[in-house]
Amino acid sequence: MSGELDASLMEMVEECYLETVGEAMEAGHSKLVAHKEGVTGAAMLLAAMSGMEDDAAKTAVVALNLRPSQLEAN
């Protein structure tokens, strides 16, 4: 699915995920909760920017295989 997204949109989705995860972890949430919040936020952005249905956007974000540990690497 990620092959269908243009590079700038994928970058925005990844950035949204990482920012949301960072904020959730700073608020004291676990990595699991932060990941779920990150996926939700990134999917909402993707749906809004691309016109995708919510479920399709969530599937596309999950397919990017983003993880909270990537925040530590950046």
In a domain, 6, yes or no: yes
In a domain, 41, yes or no: yes
Give this prediction's pTM: 0.89
Domain tally for the chain?
1
The range of the structural domain enclosing residue 28 comes to: 2-67
What is the structure's pLDDT at 73?
73
Q: Give the pLDDT confidence of 21-67 residue by residue, as tens digits.
A: 999 999 999 999 999 999 999 999 999 999 999 999 999 999 999 99
In a domain, 74, yes or no: no
Kindly indicate the confidence band of residue 18, based on its pLDDT and cuts at 50, 70 and 90.
very high
What is the structure's pLDDT at 6?
87
Closest CA to 65 of 7, 13, 30: 13
In a domain, 73, yes or no: no
Closest CA to 62 of 72, 71, 54: 54
What average pLDDT score do residues 14-26 get? Answer: 97
In a domain, 8, yes or no: yes
